[in-house]
Amino acid sequence: MRKLVYGMNVTVDGYVSAPGDDIGWGVPSDELFQFWLDEELAIGLFLYGRRLWEGMNAHWPTADQLADATAAQVEFSRNWRDTPKVLFSSTVEKADWNTRVFGGDAVAEIARLRADEGEPMRVGGSALAAAAMHAGLIDEFTIVTHPVLVGGGKRFFTDLDGGVDLDLVETRAFRGGVVMTRYETKR
């Protein structure tokens, strides 16, 4: 069975974006970027909701060709292009960059993919992750908390019908007051 990971940058008050889909509140650093690159290199399949895929697709396919791209950004760009992706969307019909579009029942498809053997998968996008969370499909949460309160926006966690017991498996502090916590779902 494949492991399903959900991880994003979040604010202290639990938002992945502020009102208006603003993500400019993050504390960028080369160290944090390298952390996310290492995380992505360990993933065998990315699962995206439409909005996050469109944001990633607008930048990463050709980011390695930018004159000011760092070595880590070049590697991230190439990895993003090369890693298989599933885009869950009822409005997008075709996607490039090693991406398969799936317009059916996202939860059923994620469960099917998770039941296969293979490298871990990462679910991206708060709405898609919420559906996977409600179905009990997420095995690991990687929460990178930035020292900012935004007061509203899109939440990392949505309301659940019941609780989920977690085991803390790792913590790490980054410059600028950013803290990563990694939890595994108790099964």
pLDDT, one tens digit per residue, over 143-166 is 999 999 999 999 999 888 888 999
Which domains are present in the chain?
4-185 (3.40.430.10)
User: Which residue ranges of the chain lie beneath pLDDT 50?
Assistant: none
Q: In sequence order, what are the residues at sequence separation of 6 or more whose Cβ sits closer than 8 angstroms to the Cβ of residue 162?
A: none
Render pLDDT for 101-120 as a digit per residue (tens, 0 to 9): 999 999 999 999 999 999 99
Q: Are 45 and 115 in contact (CB under 8 A)?
A: no
User: pTM of whole model > 0.85?
Assistant: yes
Residue 42's Cβ-side half-sphere holds a number of Cα atoms within 13 Å equal to: 12
